[in-house]
C-alpha cells in the first residue's frame, strides 16, 4: 500500500466537491452544503486563492483531503495554518492517510515559519479527538468558537455605511 499526499490542482475540483459532500454526510451536516462548484473553484484556484487543498491517495486512488489556509497570531507575530477540513473516506480509515495528511500540514507549517497548526473538531467526534490527541494535539477548552453569517452578517455589514 502506497500513501501519497499531493497539492490539489484545478483538475481536482469535482473530486474536492465530492470529498466535501462526503465529509458533510459524515458530520450529519449535508443540509448545510450550499457551495457552487464554479465559485469554489475560483476561490481555490483563481487569481487570489483563499485556501489550499492537499489530496491524499492510496495506491493512486484519492481517499481523503485536507483544506487549509493561513491565519495570523498577533502574540507570536507569525502566521499559522488553520485546517478547515480533514476527511478520509471510511473505507480508508486506519490506513495512516489521516496521519500522513496532518504530517504534511505540520511540515508545511514548519517550512512556512508558522507558529502553529490549528483546527476545530465537533465535540461528539470522539474517535477524531482521540486520534488528534494521540498525535500530540491538545484541546483548547478555554476558547469558544463564534460565528456570524447570513442575515446577522448582512445586517452588521450594512451598519458600516
pLDDT tens column, 18-71: 999 999 999 999 999 999 999 999 999 999 999 999 999 999 999 999 999 999
The boundaries of the domain holding residue 17 are 3-159
Residue 119: band (very low, low, confident or very high) from pLDDT cuts 50, 70, 90: very high
> Does the pLDDT at position 161 exceed 90?
no
| Single pTM value for the model | 0.94
Work out how many domains the chain is built from and give that number.
1
For residue 111, give the CATH number of its domain: 3.40.630.30
SS (H, E, C) the chain: CCEEEEECCHHHHHHHHHHHHHHHHHCCCHHHCCCCHHHHHHHHHCCCCCCEEEEEEECCEEEEEEEEEEEEECCCCEEEEEEEEEEECHHHCCCCHHHHHHHHHHHHHHHCCCCCEEECCCCCCHHHHHHHHHCCCCCCCCCCCCCCCHHHHHHHHHHCC
Active-site residues: which are they?
A: 132
Q: What pLDDT is recorded for position 59?
A: 97
Q: What pLDDT is recorded for position 94?
A: 92
Residue 107: band (very low, low, confident or very high) from pLDDT cuts 50, 70, 90: very high
Residue 160: band (very low, low, confident or very high) from pLDDT cuts 50, 70, 90: confident
Amino acid at each position: 500500500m502506497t500513501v501519497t499526499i499531493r497539492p490539489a490542482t484545478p483538475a481536482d475540483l469535482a473530486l474536492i466537491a465530492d470529498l466535501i459532500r462526503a465529509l458533510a454526510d459524515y458530520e450529519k451536516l449535508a443540509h448545510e452544503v450550499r457551495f457552487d462548484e464554479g465559485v469554489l473553484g475560483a476561490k481555490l484556484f483563481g487569481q487570489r486563492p483563499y485556501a489550499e487543498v492537499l489530496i491524499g491517495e492510496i495506491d493512486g486512488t484519492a481517499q481523503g483531503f485536507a483544506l487549509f489556509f493561513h491565519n495570523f497570531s498577533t502574540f507570536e507575530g507569525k502566521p499559522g495554518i488553520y485546517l478547515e477540513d480533514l476527511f478520509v473516506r471510511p473505507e480508508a480509515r486506519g490506513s495512516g492517510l489521516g496521519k500522513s495528511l496532518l504530517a504534511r500540514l505540520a511540515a508545511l507549517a514548519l517550512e512556512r515559519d508558522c507558529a502553529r497548526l490549528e483546527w476545530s473538531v465537533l465535540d461528539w467526534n470522539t474517535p477524531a479527538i482521540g486520534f488528534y490527541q494521540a498525535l500530540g494535539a491538545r484541546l483548547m477548552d478555554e476558547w469558544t468558537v463564534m460565528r456570524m453569517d447570513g442575515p446577522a452578517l448582512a445586517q452588521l455589514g450594512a451598519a458600516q455605511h
